Amino acid sequence: MAKKYDLVIVGAGPSGLLAAKAAGLAGLSVVLLERKSDITRLDRMCGQTLVSVNDYYFDDLVYYNRQGKSIGFIKNGFSFAYDGPVQGCNAWHIYSPCGNRMPFGLPEETRKQGDSGMVGLAYDKEILFRCLLEEVQDAGVEVCSGIDVSGVESMKDRVKVSGSGKAFEGSYLIAADGTNSRIARVCGFNEGRTFYSYLLCRGSHMRKLDLPDPDILLSGITYRTPAPGFMFIFPRPYEGECSVAFLALDPRADLEKVERFFTHESPFFLPWFKNAESTRQLASAQYIYSPVKEPYKGRVLLAGDTGACQELENTGAMISGWKAGSAIAAAVREDRIGIASRGIADYVQWWKATYIEKCPHEAYLMNFALPYVLDTEEDLNYLFSLIKEPLPPCWNPYAAIGHIGQLMQGLIPTIQEERPAMLQKLAKMSQPMSQVLAEATRGCAPRMELK
Ligand SMILES: Cc1cc2nc3c(=O)[nH]c(=O)nc-3n(C[C@H](O)[C@H](O)[C@H](O)COP(=O)(O)OP(=O)(O)OC[C@H]3O[C@@H](n4cnc5c(N)ncnc54)[C@H](O)[C@@H]3O)c2cc1C
């Protein structure tokens, strides 16, 4: 016999935990199901930063309350305790293969503004999970770990979820099971979505790197593999430590080779890694689909990355989780007191207006598309060599693309004069992303089953 609840939530990542907290605090009977046996353990690569702490993101402003040791969202009016260490990220610099730089902010300037100058905030995600889990349990939520949900059955007035030999029934289900969501797939939410590629990643926590600035986010691009490879370096909130991720959009780019280029071969990047020690290795493999436009059907509501193109980022996942939990709390209350329903419709409307319309997924994908368009090292080195002024301080994949667009406008006359053929390549950026990334999509066939 399935146990019955107002709400079943699948996935105890940032979105599922915030959904559980919101619904639990509103007095619903909630069960949170998670595949991992230890919810506080991070089993997948993540930069462990809060993106965009210096600007609106998903229509909200995230903040870290240093005195009160909490993380909060001003407009949505929620916060949660975080008692772990933090490290400000004071700029984001992207490097071309030879080391030419596209700087979003200069740390020597942003540092002067203290916490208000940060573009992002690095934290320890395992501590964040522990803090959130405590609040979820305090809110009266039943937490079941080690449950790998495999079946969902939607009925007229309830939904039944099964996995790992157990069954749970709820008036509603929130699917917060991430970018490779099985629930989205079995419930038919993936129909009509465009499949672009994977995001494949391997990386480690590292010590003793010799970086130009230890408190900024760094990215690099290589063409030394059959498909472009990327590197991201995220500060960690522990002295001398950072997280280094090597990524590619398709399996043609052997990630070991990408890593070797940056850490052992490139005359520019190699010195950063001369004394590096890896302390913990992590990896991840995710689908990149176009977003789900209608995130509710059959009593199932999607939250966080489950319905997203790739990532809402931790910041967006938390906001959408909180809002999804609140939406179901409203729906349950509406049902009980017998008033017209609008809680879920409001969430769907928010999803469309705030994510689908204001954060176009094509803009997110452009962050990875540049080396597919400028398809030689030489092109990218040249383009970056033209950048003389810093771009606005930013750690927001959607806003960054707007800044790069403006930068390009200013560079076009020079490029026109010096490398007119490059303009034709750059013009490809205005094509649909399915065309820009067609090579990556082909590189992903036949499609792998990702968990
Ligand atoms: C390489 C990399 C670096 C990143 N760096 C950053 C960064 O610096 N800053 C940032 O903001 N974001 C970053 N992100 C994105 C961020 O990790 C995600 O956007 C965020 O974790 C999404 O939260 P979520 O709760 O929606 O999904 P997830 O965090 O994916 O959580 C989903 C949960 O559901 C569980 N689950 C899945 N399937 C099932 C099932 N069938 N049954 C039960 N449970 C299940 C999973 O175990 C997991 O705990 C990064 C992502 C990657 C891949």
CATH number at residue 170: 3.50.50.60
Between CA 18 and CA 30, with CA 24 as vertex, the angle to 5 degrees is 100
Strand (E) or helix (H) holding 130? helix 125-138
Centre a 10 Å sphere on the Cβ of residue 236 and count the other Cβ atoms it contains. 24
The pLDDT of residue 198 is 97
Residue in 150, 242, 305, 312 to alter for ligand 1 test, most ligand atoms within 8 A of Cβ: 305
Cross-strand bridge partners of residue 283: 202
In terms of Cβ atoms closer than 10 Å to its own Cβ (0-12, 13-18, 19+), residue 420 is: exposed
Q: Is residue 393 part of a domain?
A: no
Sign of the four-CA dihedral 40, 46, 47, 52: negative
The tokens describing 275, both together, are: 């004394």
pLDDT for res 194:
97
In a domain, 391, yes or no: no
Tokens linked to 282: 């992590």
Within 10 A of 154 (CB to CB), how many other CB atoms are there? 14
Q: Nearest CA to 137 among 25, 248, 62, 51?
A: 25
Give every CB contact of residue 343 below 8 A, 6+ residues apart in sequence. 326, 327, 328, 329, 330, 331, 333, 334
Longest dimension (CA), the chain: 74
Q: Output the CA 313–ligand 1 centroid distance in Å.
A: 8
What's the rounded Cα separation, in Å, for the pair 24 and 22? 6
The answer, yes or no, to whether any atom of ligand 1 lies below 6 A from the CB of 317, is yes
SS3 at position 76: coil
Give, for 92, the enclosing helix (H) or strand (E).
Answer: strand 92-95
- CB count, 10 Å around CB of 337? 7
Domain count, the chain: 1
Give pLDDT, residue 448.
Answer: 83
Q: Which residues are CB-neighbours of 420 under 8 A, at least 6 positions away?
A: none
Judge whether 204 lies within some domain.
no
Q: How close is the Cα of 42 to the center of ligand 1, in Å?
A: 9
**Residue 234, ligand 1, Cβ within 6 A:** yes
Tell me, what's the pLDDT at 451?
A: 79
Query: 377 in a domain, yes or no?
Result: no
Structural domain boundaries enclosing 304: 3-84+123-193+292-357
Residue 29 lies in a domain: yes
The per-residue pLDDT for 340 is: 97
The pTM for the full model equals 0.97
- Could you list the beta-strand ranges (E) of 208-276: 217-222, 229-235, 241-248
Ligand 1 touching residue 10 (CB < 6 A): yes
Each of the 451 residues of the chain gets a pLDDT tens digit; together they read 789 999 999 999 999 999 999 999 999 999 999 999 999 999 999 999 999 999 999 999 999 999 999 999 999 999 999 999 999 999 999 999 999 999 999 999 999 999 999 999 999 999 999 999 999 999 999 999 999 999 999 999 999 999 999 999 999 999 999 999 999 999 999 999 999 999 999 999 999 999 999 999 999 999 999 999 999 999 999 999 999 999 999 999 999 999 999 999 999 999 999 999 999 999 999 999 999 999 999 999 999 999 999 999 999 999 999 999 999 999 999 999 999 999 999 999 999 999 999 999 999 999 999 999 999 999 999 999 999 999 999 999 999 999 999 999 999 999 999 999 999 999 999 999 999 999 999 999 988 888 7
Encoding tokens for residue 40? 């506080």
The verdict on the CB of residue 132 being under 6 Å from ligand 1 is: no
Nearest alpha-carbon partner for 53 in 104, 109, 116 = 116
Cis before 85 (ω within 30): no
Residue of 46, 173, 255 with the most ligand 1 atoms within 8 Å of its CB, for mutation: 46
Tell whether 199 is covered by a domain.
no
Q: How far is the CA of 387 from the centre of ligand 1 (A)?
A: 34
For residue 44, the model assigns a pLDDT of: 95
CA of 274 to the centre of ligand 1 (A): 31
**Does residue 96 lie in a domain region?**
no
Distance 205 CA to ligand 1 centre (A): 18
Which uninterrupted H or E stretch holds 175?
strand 166-175
Name the nearest CA neighbour of 353 among 363, 342, 345: 345
